[in-house]
Amino acid sequence: MVPTVRRPLLILPVLAIAASLALVACGRKKVGEYDTSTPEAAIEAMHRMIVDGHAELLPQMVHLEARDVEFDDGVTEASAIADVKGKAGEMLGRLWRISVKIRERWPKQVDREIRNAAKQQGLEEFITSILIDPFASLNSQREHLSAEDMTDGTAALLWKGEPIPGGFIRLVETPEGWRVDIPVELARGNRYWPDTRHEWAVVASMMLAIENSLKDFERELDSGRFKDLGQASARVGRLVGESVVAQSIIYAFMKRPESGSSSTPRAGDAPPGSSAPANSASPPG
């Protein structure tokens, strides 16, 4: 059974971990060009990256501690995580370009379509709202986000002056500056957290599959196939939704206790009972 993902949890990876490798017309910047010397500065830096059109830098603002482990073929968990981040960035880079094209082509219809999508509860409608303006929520809600330095190398993330329930997302001080931190010790308590090389590879494949769906949609968009935004958004929602469901089924099957994938498999083993999708990524190297 495909795991149910609540909407707020789905937003987080879209807005944070994989946020984008967006290719924009202006020159590229580096994270080091933004001030991240304090928790508040780091939050403002992420906001400025979006405003400046440099959302490709956002993945570098996420800290995810990898275990000091090496899989059977010599690949480390750190490199597997880096592969997932890279593919997520490429996927969201295309998402960024598509959202710009959509706004330029149907500027008067965009806000109306977002409102319509917000009234629906389906996956396709939710994906539609993200595709039209992927960073609108983070940008518009910036004033409500703040941080409280705990003086121990970490900082609590606050929403309207109050700690975010659960405290799952926090800020941590690193040699490069303050970064958004996902406490791995808590994340690993969730059975769907990637634990093996194959599982990390399937997550990377999911990013690639979505990117390929977006590529198909962008080609159709550029060809002038869609007469209005409603038609275009329905198409992209369906394309991406199908990719998410297909890859989620594979991943959920791998995580079933009876499948035996809870333990680390040999690097060359195929996921039990499944075959790699046509547009899947090769295991991270």
Q: What b/e string do you get for 208-240 counting C-beta neighbours within 10 Å, with b at 16 or more?
A: bbbbbbbeebbeebeeeebeebeebbebbbbbb
CA distance 119 to 101: 24
Task: Report the DSSP beta bridge partners of residue 76.
Answer: 70
User: 180 with 249: CB under 8 angstroms?
Assistant: no
User: 101 with 221: CB under 8 angstroms?
Assistant: yes
Report the predicted TM-score, pTM, of the whole model to 2 decimal places: 0.68
Tell me how long the chain is: 285
Q: Residue 172 in 3-state DSSP?
A: strand
- Helix crossing, 123-132 with 229-254: angle to 10°? 120
What is the chain's alpha carbon radius of gyration, rounded to the nearest angstrom?
19
- pLDDT tens, N- to C-terminus, the chain (285 residues): 444 444 433 333 333 433 333 333 334 678 889 999 999 999 999 888 877 777 777 878 888 888 899 998 889 999 998 898 888 877 877 887 888 888 888 888 877 766 666 566 565 555 566 666 666 656 667 888 899 999 999 999 998 888 877 667 899 999 999 999 987 777 777 788 898 898 999 899 988 999 899 999 999 999 999 998 888 888 988 888 888 888 888 888 888 776 544 444 443 344 433 334 444 444 444
- For tokens 């690993």, the residue is 188
CA 76 to chain centre: 21
Helix (H) or strand (E) holding 187: helix 184-187
Task: Report the DSSP beta bridge partners of residue 156.
Answer: 148, 170
